[in-house]
A and B are shown apart, each in its own frame.
Chain A
Amino acid sequence: MAFEPREEQKQLKYQELRIFSDEELHNYTEEELKNFKIKHDIPFCEELEKGRWPSFVADAKREALHRKKLAQDRMMIERDVVEDLLGQLEVSFKHGETHWKHGGIVGVFGYGGGVIGRYSDLQEQFPSIAHFHTMRVNQPASKFYTSDYLRTICDLWEYRGSGMMNMHGSTGDIIFLGTFTEQLEPIFFELGHVLQQDLGGSGSNLRTPSCCIGKARCEWSCIDTQDMCYELTHYYQDELHRPAFPYKFKFKFDGCPNGCVASIARSDMSFIGTWRDEIRIDQEAVKAYMGGEIMPNGGAHSGRDWGQFDIHKEVINLCPTQCMWMEGDKLMIDNKECTRCMHCINVMPRALRPGKDTGVSILLGAKAPILEGAQMALLTIPFMKTDPPYDNIKEKVVEPIWDWWMEEGKNRERLGELIQRQGIPKLIEVLGIPAMPQMVKEPRSNPYIFWKEEDVPGGWKRDIKDYRSRHKR
Protein backbone atom coordinates (compact mmCIF):
# COMPACT_ATOMS: atom_id res chain seq x y z
CA MET A 1 0.00 0.00 0.00
CA ALA A 2 1.30 3.45 -0.89
CA PHE A 3 2.40 5.65 1.96
CA GLU A 4 -0.12 8.31 3.00
CA PRO A 5 1.32 11.09 5.14
CA ARG A 6 -0.98 12.45 7.84
CA GLU A 7 -0.53 15.99 6.59
CA GLU A 8 0.58 17.27 3.26
CA GLN A 9 4.37 17.41 3.08
CA LYS A 10 6.05 20.45 1.60
CA GLN A 11 9.24 19.86 -0.29
CA LEU A 12 12.00 21.71 1.53
CA LYS A 13 14.40 23.74 -0.59
CA TYR A 14 17.72 24.60 1.00
CA GLN A 15 18.27 27.50 -1.36
CA GLU A 16 15.15 29.15 0.04
CA LEU A 17 15.76 28.24 3.68
CA ARG A 18 19.49 28.64 4.02
CA ILE A 19 20.99 31.01 6.55
CA PHE A 20 24.70 30.89 5.64
CA SER A 21 26.39 31.63 2.35
CA ASP A 22 28.82 29.20 0.71
CA GLU A 23 31.70 31.48 1.74
CA GLU A 24 30.56 31.32 5.35
CA LEU A 25 30.22 27.54 5.24
CA HIS A 26 33.71 27.04 3.82
CA ASN A 27 35.51 29.69 5.79
CA TYR A 28 38.81 28.09 6.83
CA THR A 29 41.64 26.17 5.19
CA GLU A 30 43.21 22.89 6.31
CA GLU A 31 46.39 24.89 6.89
CA GLU A 32 44.61 27.20 9.30
CA LEU A 33 43.14 24.20 11.07
CA LYS A 34 46.60 22.70 11.61
CA ASN A 35 47.79 25.89 13.33
CA PHE A 36 44.57 26.48 15.25
CA LYS A 37 44.68 26.34 19.06
CA ILE A 38 41.49 26.61 21.07
CA LYS A 39 41.52 29.06 23.97
CA HIS A 40 41.81 26.39 26.70
CA ASP A 41 44.66 23.97 27.21
CA ILE A 42 43.22 20.47 26.63
CA PRO A 43 45.96 17.80 26.73
CA PHE A 44 43.62 15.04 28.01
CA CYS A 45 41.06 15.71 25.31
CA GLU A 46 43.81 15.75 22.70
CA GLU A 47 44.83 12.22 23.70
CA LEU A 48 41.55 11.20 22.08
CA GLU A 49 42.72 12.52 18.74
CA LYS A 50 45.61 10.07 18.59
CA GLY A 51 45.34 6.81 16.66
CA ARG A 52 43.77 6.11 13.34
CA TRP A 53 40.10 6.40 14.27
CA PRO A 54 37.94 9.47 13.99
CA SER A 55 37.67 11.68 17.04
CA PHE A 56 34.93 13.97 18.24
CA VAL A 57 37.68 16.23 19.61
CA ALA A 58 39.07 16.73 16.10
CA ASP A 59 35.55 17.39 14.80
CA ALA A 60 34.84 19.83 17.63
CA LYS A 61 38.03 21.78 16.83
CA ARG A 62 36.91 22.19 13.22
CA GLU A 63 33.60 23.53 14.44
CA ALA A 64 35.36 25.85 16.91
CA LEU A 65 37.50 27.29 14.12
CA HIS A 66 34.53 27.59 11.80
CA ARG A 67 32.60 29.56 14.43
CA LYS A 68 35.59 31.70 15.27
CA LYS A 69 35.73 32.86 11.68
CA LEU A 70 32.01 33.64 11.44
CA ALA A 71 30.89 37.13 12.46
CA GLN A 72 29.42 36.98 15.98
CA ASP A 73 26.14 38.48 14.76
CA ARG A 74 25.70 35.41 12.53
CA MET A 75 25.13 33.24 15.62
CA MET A 76 22.58 33.69 18.37
CA ILE A 77 24.70 32.10 21.12
CA GLU A 78 28.39 32.70 21.80
CA ARG A 79 30.79 31.59 19.12
CA ASP A 80 33.18 29.97 21.60
CA VAL A 81 30.58 27.51 22.96
CA VAL A 82 32.58 24.63 21.43
CA GLU A 83 35.83 25.82 23.00
CA ASP A 84 34.20 26.10 26.42
CA LEU A 85 32.70 22.65 26.01
CA LEU A 86 36.15 21.14 25.42
CA GLY A 87 37.57 23.24 28.26
CA GLN A 88 35.02 21.90 30.72
CA LEU A 89 35.49 18.35 29.49
CA GLU A 90 39.20 18.73 30.20
CA VAL A 91 38.43 19.81 33.77
CA SER A 92 36.11 16.80 34.16
CA PHE A 93 38.87 14.46 33.03
CA LYS A 94 41.16 16.00 35.66
CA HIS A 95 38.60 15.87 38.44
CA GLY A 96 37.09 12.55 37.45
CA GLU A 97 33.69 14.22 37.92
CA THR A 98 31.07 15.69 35.66
CA HIS A 99 30.42 19.41 35.78
CA TRP A 100 26.96 19.27 34.25
CA LYS A 101 23.98 20.08 36.40
CA HIS A 102 21.04 17.84 35.76
CA GLY A 103 17.56 18.74 34.73
CA GLY A 104 15.21 21.62 35.28
CA ILE A 105 12.01 23.12 34.05
CA VAL A 106 13.18 24.18 30.61
CA GLY A 107 11.16 23.04 27.66
CA VAL A 108 8.97 24.32 24.91
CA PHE A 109 5.47 25.39 25.73
CA GLY A 110 2.98 22.55 26.20
CA TYR A 111 5.57 19.79 25.79
CA GLY A 112 6.86 17.73 28.69
CA GLY A 113 9.71 16.27 26.67
CA GLY A 114 12.06 16.81 23.77
CA VAL A 115 14.28 19.29 25.60
CA ILE A 116 16.77 18.22 28.23
CA GLY A 117 17.95 21.02 30.46
CA ARG A 118 21.68 21.09 31.17
CA TYR A 119 23.75 23.77 32.92
CA SER A 120 27.43 24.05 33.64
CA ASP A 121 28.43 24.25 37.31
CA LEU A 122 31.59 26.12 36.24
CA GLN A 123 29.78 29.05 34.64
CA GLU A 124 32.38 31.66 35.58
CA GLN A 125 35.14 29.71 33.93
CA PHE A 126 33.02 28.62 30.95
CA PRO A 127 30.30 31.25 30.43
CA SER A 128 29.45 30.21 26.87
CA ILE A 129 28.13 26.86 28.10
CA ALA A 130 26.31 28.26 31.16
CA HIS A 131 23.24 26.76 29.45
CA PHE A 132 23.81 23.72 27.31
CA HIS A 133 20.36 22.29 26.65
CA THR A 134 19.89 19.31 24.39
CA MET A 135 17.01 19.08 21.93
CA ARG A 136 15.75 15.80 20.52
CA VAL A 137 14.45 15.94 16.97
CA ASN A 138 12.14 13.08 15.94
CA GLN A 139 13.90 11.37 13.06
CA PRO A 140 11.86 10.18 10.08
CA ALA A 141 11.15 6.44 9.87
CA SER A 142 14.34 4.58 8.90
CA LYS A 143 16.24 7.88 8.86
CA PHE A 144 15.78 8.77 5.23
CA TYR A 145 16.68 12.39 4.58
CA THR A 146 17.11 14.70 1.68
CA SER A 147 20.28 16.75 1.58
CA ASP A 148 18.07 19.87 1.51
CA TYR A 149 16.65 18.88 4.88
CA LEU A 150 20.05 18.07 6.39
CA ARG A 151 21.61 21.31 5.22
CA THR A 152 18.65 23.29 6.51
CA ILE A 153 18.80 21.84 10.02
CA CYS A 154 22.58 22.27 10.11
CA ASP A 155 22.17 25.97 9.31
CA LEU A 156 19.40 26.36 11.87
CA TRP A 157 21.51 24.74 14.57
CA GLU A 158 24.64 26.71 13.70
CA TYR A 159 22.58 29.89 13.95
CA ARG A 160 20.65 29.15 17.15
CA GLY A 161 22.72 26.47 18.87
CA SER A 162 26.26 25.16 19.26
CA GLY A 163 26.43 23.70 15.76
CA MET A 164 27.26 20.30 17.29
CA MET A 165 24.84 17.41 16.84
CA ASN A 166 24.63 13.63 17.09
CA MET A 167 23.37 11.63 14.15
CA HIS A 168 21.73 9.86 16.02
CA GLY A 169 21.17 9.20 19.71
CA SER A 170 20.51 5.65 20.92
CA THR A 171 16.77 6.22 21.01
CA GLY A 172 16.87 7.26 17.39
CA ASP A 173 16.48 11.04 17.40
CA ILE A 174 18.81 13.60 15.90
CA ILE A 175 20.36 15.22 18.95
CA PHE A 176 21.05 18.95 18.93
CA LEU A 177 23.76 19.47 21.54
CA GLY A 178 23.77 22.68 23.51
CA THR A 179 21.83 25.91 23.37
CA PHE A 180 20.49 28.62 25.70
CA THR A 181 16.94 28.76 27.06
CA GLU A 182 15.97 31.80 24.94
CA GLN A 183 16.65 29.84 21.76
CA LEU A 184 14.33 26.92 22.50
CA GLU A 185 11.04 28.45 21.36
CA PRO A 186 12.44 30.01 18.16
CA ILE A 187 13.99 26.67 17.20
CA PHE A 188 10.79 24.82 18.00
CA PHE A 189 8.81 27.30 15.88
CA GLU A 190 11.14 26.90 12.94
CA LEU A 191 11.12 23.11 13.21
CA GLY A 192 7.36 22.84 13.61
CA HIS A 193 6.07 25.52 11.29
CA VAL A 194 8.68 25.63 8.57
CA LEU A 195 10.34 22.21 8.49
CA GLN A 196 7.25 20.16 9.54
CA GLN A 197 9.49 18.54 12.05
CA ASP A 198 8.47 17.52 15.59
CA LEU A 199 10.59 17.10 18.68
CA GLY A 200 11.11 13.60 20.06
CA GLY A 201 10.42 12.18 23.50
CA SER A 202 12.39 12.43 26.73
CA GLY A 203 11.65 12.01 30.43
CA SER A 204 8.71 9.85 31.53
CA ASN A 205 7.24 9.78 28.05
CA LEU A 206 6.83 7.46 25.17
CA ARG A 207 10.23 7.88 23.53
CA THR A 208 10.66 8.47 19.85
CA PRO A 209 9.81 5.15 18.17
CA SER A 210 12.40 3.86 15.72
CA CYS A 211 12.53 1.20 13.05
CA CYS A 212 14.87 -0.62 10.69
CA ILE A 213 15.00 0.22 7.01
CA GLY A 214 12.26 -2.33 6.42
CA LYS A 215 10.42 -2.76 3.16
CA ALA A 216 11.97 0.41 1.79
CA ARG A 217 15.19 -1.41 0.98
CA CYS A 218 15.27 -4.83 2.57
CA GLU A 219 13.83 -7.95 0.97
CA TRP A 220 13.70 -9.74 4.33
CA SER A 221 11.28 -7.37 5.95
CA CYS A 222 8.20 -9.30 7.03
CA ILE A 223 6.32 -6.18 8.10
CA ASP A 224 6.19 -2.58 6.98
CA THR A 225 8.32 -1.26 9.83
CA GLN A 226 8.18 2.32 8.60
CA ASP A 227 4.43 2.37 8.43
CA MET A 228 4.04 0.90 11.91
CA CYS A 229 6.57 3.31 13.33
CA TYR A 230 4.91 6.31 11.68
CA GLU A 231 1.41 5.22 12.66
CA LEU A 232 2.23 4.56 16.30
CA THR A 233 4.26 7.76 16.56
CA HIS A 234 1.27 9.79 15.39
CA TYR A 235 -1.39 7.82 17.22
CA TYR A 236 0.43 8.17 20.53
CA GLN A 237 1.42 11.85 20.24
CA ASP A 238 -0.04 12.63 23.62
CA GLU A 239 2.05 9.92 25.28
CA LEU A 240 5.10 11.20 23.42
CA HIS A 241 4.79 14.81 24.56
CA ARG A 242 2.92 14.75 27.86
CA PRO A 243 4.59 12.66 30.53
CA ALA A 244 2.36 10.48 32.71
CA PHE A 245 4.27 7.20 32.74
CA PRO A 246 6.29 5.92 35.70
CA TYR A 247 9.41 6.19 33.51
CA LYS A 248 10.53 6.03 29.89
CA PHE A 249 8.89 3.66 27.40
CA LYS A 250 10.31 2.66 24.03
CA PHE A 251 8.86 1.01 20.92
CA LYS A 252 11.21 -0.34 18.28
CA PHE A 253 10.45 -2.20 15.06
CA ASP A 254 12.66 -4.77 13.36
CA GLY A 255 11.45 -6.12 10.05
CA CYS A 256 12.91 -9.58 10.64
CA PRO A 257 14.81 -11.48 13.33
CA ASN A 258 18.13 -10.07 12.11
CA GLY A 259 17.17 -7.17 14.34
CA CYS A 260 18.99 -4.25 12.76
CA VAL A 261 17.62 -1.79 15.36
CA ALA A 262 18.20 -4.36 18.13
CA SER A 263 14.67 -3.87 19.40
CA ILE A 264 15.00 -7.05 21.46
CA ALA A 265 17.59 -5.40 23.69
CA ARG A 266 16.71 -1.74 23.47
CA SER A 267 12.95 -1.31 23.78
CA ASP A 268 10.27 -1.93 26.34
CA MET A 269 8.05 -3.17 23.54
CA SER A 270 9.89 -4.80 20.70
CA PHE A 271 8.19 -5.71 17.42
CA ILE A 272 10.05 -8.22 15.28
CA GLY A 273 8.76 -9.27 11.88
CA THR A 274 8.38 -13.02 11.42
CA TRP A 275 6.37 -15.62 9.49
CA ARG A 276 4.25 -18.58 10.51
CA ASP A 277 4.27 -20.60 7.30
CA GLU A 278 7.32 -22.13 5.66
CA ILE A 279 10.65 -20.80 4.52
CA ARG A 280 10.47 -20.53 0.73
CA ILE A 281 13.11 -22.71 -0.92
CA ASP A 282 14.41 -22.44 -4.47
CA GLN A 283 16.15 -25.81 -4.90
CA GLU A 284 17.87 -24.71 -8.11
CA ALA A 285 19.50 -21.83 -6.27
CA VAL A 286 20.52 -24.20 -3.44
CA LYS A 287 22.39 -26.24 -6.03
CA ALA A 288 23.95 -23.10 -7.47
CA TYR A 289 25.29 -22.16 -4.02
CA MET A 290 26.64 -25.69 -3.55
CA GLY A 291 28.24 -25.60 -6.97
CA GLY A 292 29.95 -22.27 -6.21
CA GLU A 293 27.95 -20.36 -8.84
CA ILE A 294 26.45 -17.94 -6.30
CA MET A 295 28.56 -16.38 -3.57
CA PRO A 296 27.29 -17.15 -0.08
CA ASN A 297 26.29 -14.29 2.27
CA GLY A 298 25.67 -12.04 -0.73
CA GLY A 299 29.44 -11.88 -1.18
CA ALA A 300 29.84 -10.11 2.14
CA HIS A 301 32.94 -12.06 3.23
CA SER A 302 34.62 -12.21 -0.16
CA GLY A 303 37.70 -10.25 0.93
CA ARG A 304 39.53 -13.51 1.50
CA ASP A 305 39.39 -17.05 0.15
CA TRP A 306 37.34 -19.28 2.44
CA GLY A 307 37.51 -22.26 0.11
CA GLN A 308 34.65 -24.17 -1.44
CA PHE A 309 31.21 -23.41 0.05
CA ASP A 310 30.14 -26.29 2.29
CA ILE A 311 26.41 -26.30 2.97
CA HIS A 312 26.78 -28.73 5.91
CA LYS A 313 29.49 -26.78 7.65
CA GLU A 314 28.14 -23.31 6.95
CA VAL A 315 24.40 -23.82 7.12
CA ILE A 316 22.95 -27.14 8.19
CA ASN A 317 25.23 -27.79 11.17
CA LEU A 318 24.84 -24.22 12.37
CA CYS A 319 21.04 -24.31 12.42
CA PRO A 320 20.36 -23.79 16.14
CA THR A 321 17.43 -26.20 16.20
CA GLN A 322 19.04 -28.76 13.86
CA CYS A 323 15.95 -28.77 11.71
CA MET A 324 17.64 -28.88 8.29
CA TRP A 325 18.98 -31.79 6.28
CA MET A 326 19.72 -32.88 2.71
CA GLU A 327 17.73 -35.52 0.86
CA GLY A 328 19.88 -36.23 -2.16
CA ASP A 329 20.53 -32.77 -3.54
CA LYS A 330 17.39 -31.29 -2.01
CA LEU A 331 17.51 -29.12 1.06
CA MET A 332 14.80 -29.98 3.60
CA ILE A 333 13.55 -27.91 6.56
CA ASP A 334 11.30 -29.08 9.36
CA ASN A 335 9.56 -25.72 9.67
CA LYS A 336 7.76 -26.42 12.92
CA GLU A 337 11.14 -26.73 14.63
CA CYS A 338 12.62 -23.63 12.97
CA THR A 339 13.08 -20.72 15.39
CA ARG A 340 13.29 -18.14 12.58
CA CYS A 341 16.88 -17.29 13.46
CA MET A 342 17.56 -16.11 9.84
CA HIS A 343 20.97 -17.80 9.64
CA CYS A 344 20.26 -20.03 6.63
CA ILE A 345 18.47 -17.18 4.84
CA ASN A 346 21.37 -14.80 5.47
CA VAL A 347 23.86 -17.27 4.01
CA MET A 348 21.80 -18.22 0.96
CA PRO A 349 19.47 -15.30 0.24
CA ARG A 350 18.76 -16.34 -3.32
CA ALA A 351 17.78 -19.86 -2.30
CA LEU A 352 15.84 -19.17 0.88
CA ARG A 353 13.30 -16.52 1.77
CA PRO A 354 11.03 -15.91 4.75
CA GLY A 355 7.51 -17.28 4.39
CA LYS A 356 4.56 -15.30 3.07
CA ASP A 357 2.19 -15.43 6.02
CA THR A 358 3.90 -12.68 7.93
CA GLY A 359 3.30 -10.72 11.14
CA VAL A 360 5.15 -9.79 14.30
CA SER A 361 6.49 -11.35 17.43
CA ILE A 362 6.11 -8.97 20.36
CA LEU A 363 8.70 -8.98 23.12
CA LEU A 364 8.46 -7.02 26.33
CA GLY A 365 10.67 -5.53 28.97
CA ALA A 366 14.21 -5.03 27.66
CA LYS A 367 16.18 -2.31 29.41
CA ALA A 368 19.57 -1.03 30.48
CA PRO A 369 20.53 -1.28 34.16
CA ILE A 370 18.87 1.25 36.45
CA LEU A 371 16.94 -0.37 39.29
CA GLU A 372 17.79 -3.93 38.24
CA GLY A 373 20.43 -5.15 35.82
CA ALA A 374 20.23 -5.01 32.05
CA GLN A 375 17.91 -7.50 30.47
CA MET A 376 16.75 -8.65 27.06
CA ALA A 377 13.08 -8.68 26.21
CA LEU A 378 10.77 -11.57 27.02
CA LEU A 379 9.05 -13.16 24.03
CA THR A 380 5.45 -12.64 25.06
CA ILE A 381 3.37 -12.87 21.89
CA PRO A 382 4.94 -15.30 19.41
CA PHE A 383 2.81 -14.20 16.47
CA MET A 384 0.32 -11.48 15.64
CA LYS A 385 -0.92 -10.22 12.28
CA THR A 386 -0.18 -6.59 11.44
CA ASP A 387 -2.59 -4.70 9.29
CA PRO A 388 -2.80 -0.93 9.31
CA PRO A 389 -3.95 0.87 11.37
CA TYR A 390 -2.87 -1.88 13.81
CA ASP A 391 -5.94 -1.68 16.05
CA ASN A 392 -5.30 -5.20 17.34
CA ILE A 393 -1.86 -4.16 18.56
CA LYS A 394 -3.04 -0.86 20.04
CA GLU A 395 -6.06 -2.28 21.82
CA LYS A 396 -4.91 -5.76 22.80
CA VAL A 397 -1.26 -5.13 23.60
CA VAL A 398 -0.11 -1.53 23.95
CA GLU A 399 -2.97 -0.10 25.97
CA PRO A 400 -3.51 -2.98 28.43
CA ILE A 401 0.23 -2.95 29.12
CA TRP A 402 0.27 0.80 29.71
CA ASP A 403 -2.81 0.65 31.94
CA TRP A 404 -1.16 -2.03 34.06
CA TRP A 405 2.20 -0.30 34.23
CA MET A 406 0.68 3.12 35.04
CA GLU A 407 -1.43 1.55 37.77
CA GLU A 408 1.16 -0.76 39.33
CA GLY A 409 4.56 0.52 38.26
CA LYS A 410 6.62 2.32 40.87
CA ASN A 411 8.18 5.66 40.03
CA ARG A 412 11.21 5.05 37.79
CA GLU A 413 10.35 1.38 37.32
CA ARG A 414 10.59 0.11 33.74
CA LEU A 415 8.11 -2.39 32.35
CA GLY A 416 10.75 -5.12 32.53
CA GLU A 417 11.19 -4.54 36.24
CA LEU A 418 7.44 -4.63 36.85
CA ILE A 419 7.32 -7.96 35.03
CA GLN A 420 10.12 -9.23 37.27
CA ARG A 421 8.42 -7.95 40.39
CA GLN A 422 4.87 -9.13 39.70
CA GLY A 423 5.70 -12.12 37.54
CA ILE A 424 4.82 -13.47 34.12
CA PRO A 425 1.49 -14.97 35.26
CA LYS A 426 0.34 -11.44 36.07
CA LEU A 427 1.60 -10.17 32.71
CA ILE A 428 -0.29 -12.79 30.73
CA GLU A 429 -3.39 -12.18 32.81
CA VAL A 430 -3.18 -8.49 31.87
CA LEU A 431 -2.91 -9.46 28.21
CA GLY A 432 -5.48 -12.24 28.45
CA ILE A 433 -3.21 -14.78 26.75
CA PRO A 434 -2.26 -18.33 27.77
CA ALA A 435 1.16 -19.32 29.04
CA MET A 436 3.17 -20.61 26.10
CA PRO A 437 6.32 -22.70 25.94
CA GLN A 438 7.99 -19.90 23.92
CA MET A 439 7.93 -17.72 27.05
CA VAL A 440 10.34 -19.84 29.05
CA LYS A 441 13.93 -20.59 28.20
CA GLU A 442 13.81 -24.18 29.32
CA PRO A 443 11.71 -26.08 31.86
CA ARG A 444 12.63 -25.54 35.50
CA SER A 445 15.07 -22.73 35.00
CA ASN A 446 12.44 -20.03 34.87
CA PRO A 447 10.96 -19.06 38.21
CA TYR A 448 8.10 -17.06 36.75
CA ILE A 449 5.54 -19.65 35.73
CA PHE A 450 3.30 -21.03 38.44
CA TRP A 451 0.01 -22.83 38.28
CA LYS A 452 -3.05 -21.17 39.67
CA GLU A 453 -5.58 -23.24 41.56
CA GLU A 454 -8.24 -22.77 38.88
CA ASP A 455 -5.87 -24.07 36.21
CA VAL A 456 -5.44 -27.42 37.94
CA PRO A 457 -8.22 -30.01 37.61
CA GLY A 458 -9.66 -30.45 41.09
CA GLY A 459 -7.72 -27.47 42.43
CA TRP A 460 -5.40 -27.84 45.41
CA LYS A 461 -7.78 -30.15 47.24
CA ARG A 462 -7.78 -33.86 46.72
CA ASP A 463 -9.81 -36.69 48.05
CA ILE A 464 -7.37 -38.46 50.32
CA LYS A 465 -9.31 -41.73 50.18
CA ASP A 466 -9.26 -41.75 46.40
CA TYR A 467 -5.54 -41.01 46.50
CA ARG A 468 -4.84 -43.74 49.04
CA SER A 469 -6.75 -46.25 46.93
CA ARG A 470 -3.90 -45.93 44.49
CA HIS A 471 -0.99 -45.04 46.77
CA LYS A 472 -0.34 -47.16 49.84
CA ARG A 473 1.16 -45.52 52.89
Chain B
Amino acid sequence: MDDLKKAILDFAENNKKSKFYFSDMEKAVKVEFPDAKARDVKKAATALVNEEKLIYFSTGSSTMYGLKGRGQTEDH
Protein backbone atom coordinates (compact mmCIF):
# COMPACT_ATOMS: atom_id res chain seq x y z
CA MET B 1 0.00 0.00 0.00
CA ASP B 2 2.75 2.47 0.93
CA ASP B 3 4.62 1.49 -2.25
CA LEU B 4 1.52 2.20 -4.31
CA LYS B 5 1.00 5.52 -2.58
CA LYS B 6 4.59 6.51 -3.33
CA ALA B 7 4.20 5.48 -6.97
CA ILE B 8 1.05 7.59 -7.24
CA LEU B 9 2.76 10.63 -5.73
CA ASP B 10 5.78 10.19 -8.03
CA PHE B 11 3.45 10.10 -10.99
CA ALA B 12 1.48 13.12 -9.77
CA GLU B 13 4.59 15.18 -9.05
CA ASN B 14 6.27 14.41 -12.36
CA ASN B 15 3.18 14.68 -14.51
CA LYS B 16 3.20 17.57 -16.98
CA LYS B 17 -0.46 18.22 -16.24
CA SER B 18 -1.82 19.17 -12.85
CA LYS B 19 -4.96 17.04 -13.35
CA PHE B 20 -5.11 13.47 -14.56
CA TYR B 21 -7.60 10.64 -14.99
CA PHE B 22 -7.66 7.65 -12.69
CA SER B 23 -6.81 5.31 -15.54
CA ASP B 24 -3.63 7.24 -16.40
CA MET B 25 -2.57 7.11 -12.77
CA GLU B 26 -3.34 3.40 -12.69
CA LYS B 27 -1.29 2.75 -15.84
CA ALA B 28 1.67 4.64 -14.40
CA VAL B 29 1.51 2.64 -11.16
CA LYS B 30 1.30 -0.60 -13.12
CA VAL B 31 4.58 0.12 -14.88
CA GLU B 32 6.28 -0.33 -11.52
CA PHE B 33 3.79 -2.80 -10.02
CA PRO B 34 2.38 -4.87 -12.85
CA ASP B 35 0.35 -7.06 -10.45
CA ALA B 36 -1.46 -4.16 -8.79
CA LYS B 37 -5.22 -4.31 -9.26
CA ALA B 38 -7.33 -1.27 -10.10
CA ARG B 39 -8.99 -1.67 -6.71
CA ASP B 40 -5.63 -1.50 -4.90
CA VAL B 41 -4.66 1.63 -6.79
CA LYS B 42 -8.01 3.12 -5.89
CA LYS B 43 -7.57 2.29 -2.20
CA ALA B 44 -4.16 3.95 -2.22
CA ALA B 45 -5.56 7.01 -3.99
CA THR B 46 -8.42 7.25 -1.50
CA ALA B 47 -5.94 7.08 1.36
CA LEU B 48 -3.95 9.92 -0.22
CA VAL B 49 -7.12 11.99 -0.54
CA ASN B 50 -7.86 11.37 3.13
CA GLU B 51 -4.30 12.41 4.00
CA GLU B 52 -4.94 15.59 1.98
CA LYS B 53 -2.13 14.86 -0.48
CA LEU B 54 -4.38 14.25 -3.49
CA ILE B 55 -7.52 16.12 -4.43
CA TYR B 56 -10.48 15.32 -6.63
CA PHE B 57 -11.29 17.62 -9.52
CA SER B 58 -14.78 17.22 -10.92
CA THR B 59 -16.54 18.84 -13.84
CA GLY B 60 -19.77 17.39 -12.53
CA SER B 61 -19.89 14.71 -15.19
CA SER B 62 -16.39 13.30 -14.90
CA THR B 63 -13.74 13.34 -12.23
CA MET B 64 -9.97 13.71 -12.30
CA TYR B 65 -7.30 13.60 -9.60
CA GLY B 66 -4.65 16.20 -8.80
CA LEU B 67 -1.84 16.86 -6.38
CA LYS B 68 -2.91 19.17 -3.59
CA GLY B 69 -1.25 22.54 -3.94
CA ARG B 70 -0.43 22.15 -7.61
CA GLY B 71 -2.28 23.90 -10.45
CA GLN B 72 -5.72 25.00 -9.38
CA THR B 73 -5.53 25.46 -5.62
CA GLU B 74 -8.20 28.02 -4.96
CA ASP B 75 -11.70 26.85 -5.41
CA HIS B 76 -12.09 29.19 -8.38
**Residues of A at under 8 Å CB distance from B?**
102-107, 110, 112-113, 115-119, 134, 181, 202-205, 238, 242-248, 403, 406-407, 409, 411-412
Q: Which residues in B have their C-beta under 8 angstroms from that of A107?
A: 56, 58
Contact A103 B42 (CB under 8 A): no
Task: Decide: A112 near B63, CB < 8 A? Known: A117-B75, A119-B76.
Answer: yes
Rounded to whole angstroms, the CA-CA distance of A253 and B59 in the bound complex is 27
Asked if A110 contacts B72 (CB within 8 A), the reply is no
Query: Hey, which chain B residues are within 8 Å of A115, CB to CB?
Result: 58
Give the distance in Å from the alpha carbon of A65 to the alpha carbon of B40 in the complex: 52
List of A residues within 8 angstroms of B56 by Cβ: 105, 107, 112, 203, 243
Name the residue on A nearest B39 (C-beta).
A244
Known: A112-B49, A181-B75. A406 touches B23 (CB 8 A): yes
Q: Distance (Å) between the CB of A241 and the closest chain B CB?
A: 9
**Across the interface, do B60 and A204 meet the contact criterion of CB distance under 8 Å?**
no
What residue in chain A is nearest B50 (Cβ atoms)?
A110
Main secondary structure of the interface of A (DSSP, over half): loop
Contact yes or no, B62 A116, CB < 8 A: no
Q: Are A103 and B49 in contact (CB under 8 A)?
A: no
**A203 x B66 contact (CB < 8 A):** no
Contacts of A247 in B (CB 8 A): 61-62
CB distance from A34 to the nearest CB of B (A): 37
Report the count of interface residues on B (CB-CB < 8 A): 25
Closest A residue to B54 by CB, please name it: A112
Bound form: Cα–Cα A375–B63 in Å: 23
A114 to B60, CA, bound (A): 9
Contact indicator B75/A203 (Cβ below 8 Å)? no
* Shortest distance between the CB of A181 and any CB in chain B (Å): 5
Alpha-carbon separation in the docked complex, A411 to B46 (Å): 19
B23 touches A112 (CB 8 A): no
Tell me how far the C-beta of B26 lies from the nearest C-beta in chain A, rounded to whole angstroms.
8
Q: How many A-B residue pairs have CB under 8 A?
A: 88
State the 3 A-B residue pairs at the shortest beta-carbon distance, nearest first: A203-B63, A103-B59, A243-B63
Question: Does B55 belong to the interface (CB within 8 Å)?
Answer: yes
Contacting pair B58 A406 (CB below 8 A)? no
Residue B38 is within 8 A (CB to CB) of chain A in the complex: yes
Interface assignment of B8: CB less than 8 Å from any CB of chain A: no
B11 at the interface (CB under 8 A from A): no
Assembled-state Cα–Cα distance A42/B8 (Å): 50
Q: Which residue of A lies closest to B76 (CB)?
A: A119
A243–B63 Cα gap in the complex (Å)?
7
Q: List 29 A-B contacts (CB under 8 A).
A: A103-B59, A104-B72, A105-B56, A105-B58, A105-B66, A105-B75, A106-B75, A107-B58, A112-B56, A112-B63, A113-B58, A115-B58, A116-B60, A118-B60, A119-B76, A202-B61, A203-B59, A203-B61, A203-B62, A238-B42, A244-B26, A244-B42, A244-B45, A246-B22, A247-B61, A411-B21, A411-B23, A411-B24, A411-B62
